[in-house]
Structure 1
């Protein structure tokens, strides 16, 4: 037992060090389309059948089915984001930056691309069987994606405060206990420790003072069950509570509730059906309650418009403006098949209606989480009896969302994004 404790402590430290290297995964809002390389090859499906030790991020009940193993990998993630402004505006009309309220809030016309197009996203998982009925493990993974970087220009930047953007990182450290109910079913519980880091720049036009990075810690829990209900048919379900996080005190004049930025609750249900001895069909449904977090779900208007026109600062109030995101429901379909004992192939597709209303495009220049479709593929190559190589690729085709500038209706704003992601991981079984 002491050996297990010492080993898990060392692995915990290594995993945490890997996780803080950086995170950026804005695919379903700002949640990743999947966690773990095998699941990502299936467009994020896998709540009913777990295949690597990142399973706790989807369903902790599956960890007890995996045996002793370590998974270590990284993804190269590339979100390509831009916005364009049309209608009256600079150079036709340009406001006095010291009197924006009198002019409304027009933006410079034209198209602007966000810089910082590539992110390296590491992950780590470890699972250890305590006996043939139970296991402990730890998974380290991340969310992110409100990572934008728009350059300064002759008009003073996107929001008249110089180069504009936000950088959000969320790291999850997820220790897990999983136990079999019987030979075909199991349950699991994962206390979640979350670390968030955030920075905003170029928001002087909204009265937000640039103050560098701020961080916060949060805590929540994920619960899951998984089991075979008929020969070759498995069902799974998991629920993650809202993660209650400390406020970003440096940005208490930006996020509602004095800098509060909790992580929304979500639930996933799904099945895995062995359609033949060598192939399995996956189908998951996930729901994310973005609207339950005021800093994410509150609409920008009428609060922000009233505050700008009266000269008062209402960002950060208890019911202050947010990004106006709706809840998301995502449907994930995956298929995997074996061509030999050493090779397993995967493909997947997911769809979720993006969360940004056309009335909320102005602030969401900073956080254009508008992707809806994901196309994925991947494979597992067995490298002997105790090792395997996993690969997954994702392409998210271009999505656009357009709407009026709510603070200057003579303009239209269009948000645009497409993405790709390549992930490689290696597994050691012991």
Structure 2
């Protein structure tokens, strides 16, 4: 390789991914505005990138969880239980924020178009729980093929526990396999600037921002809730846990995890980024190697916001009177449903009809609300994923600090220097 190309290759493989993503974003906007016909053609880069993410994410979750549990040593300190508590508190708090914002700034929608009959949302909370139970006992090959993350997680937990009694060679093999899959995903993530370039160019060339502007109020409420949770609610939860200034850690998680998740739009695909950030923060490996894949599956505060806001937008549009107990029930239902959302783009929208059913809204009308969600999903789903994924690291770090897995001073020092 010629000498002039070496610095360029080193920058492409080791340079700041965030900067490269921003360059791809600006390049995509420029091509869409100056050369629309070419922008539609480069959309293939975006499709390839999204397909690659979808293909590797289920395998990544499956292998990482098995390896983490199988290699856990008896008597070793972990803090999974307090992290699960933080996940639950964060998701429910996000749903309550969404309820409050929806009443302070009510949104109304134009509901008229018929929707895609191929979508099959659940019909009630009992059906969601039934679906979750069936997902748990799904065939592992089928779960991997359909990206059924609940089934993948269940099988990974079971196999991981069983293999803890296996030979040392087997556990080393699992560890090597996990490292190999993680490396493959990191290679895919390094291609994010090209994928984002293609996605942005094709999207702007085809529809522009007109569709988003038509639902600007609803989008503002959704994004406002997510930013409020990320910058106010989550820091308050972390402060309650660690009793010190949470913002250095909050901003580190948003910058290092949230930005990449914004563009990948997949909590599962962002797992390697989160694992690397946890390692840089000096957290306990036996804790974050389990909590991060687990959080990508069940920690979905952004999804709870989406389900709640869109449901109450339909309620306000139809003039339905809602009392306090009903809104509290909606928050609980949204939190439970959010935990069952797939860790890939757009998973939260198909649970909106279930929440609408609490207020007697028909399935046909609810599916129109889902269609609106897909229209604004260009931004809504990206910000939702950024909130979900960055919160995985944030709560994991908070539990590790509280449990003194790492000294608070050391973590704060690391967070300030990142």
TM-score range, shorter chain: under 0.3
Scaled by the length of structure 2, the TM-score of the pair is 0.23
Structure number with the bigger relative contact order (C-alpha 8 A, sep ≥ 6) is 2
Please state which structure has a larger fraction of its residues in strand.
1
Higher helix share goes to which structure?
2
TM-score by length of 1: 0.22
Question: Larger radius of gyration, structure 1 or 2?
Answer: 1
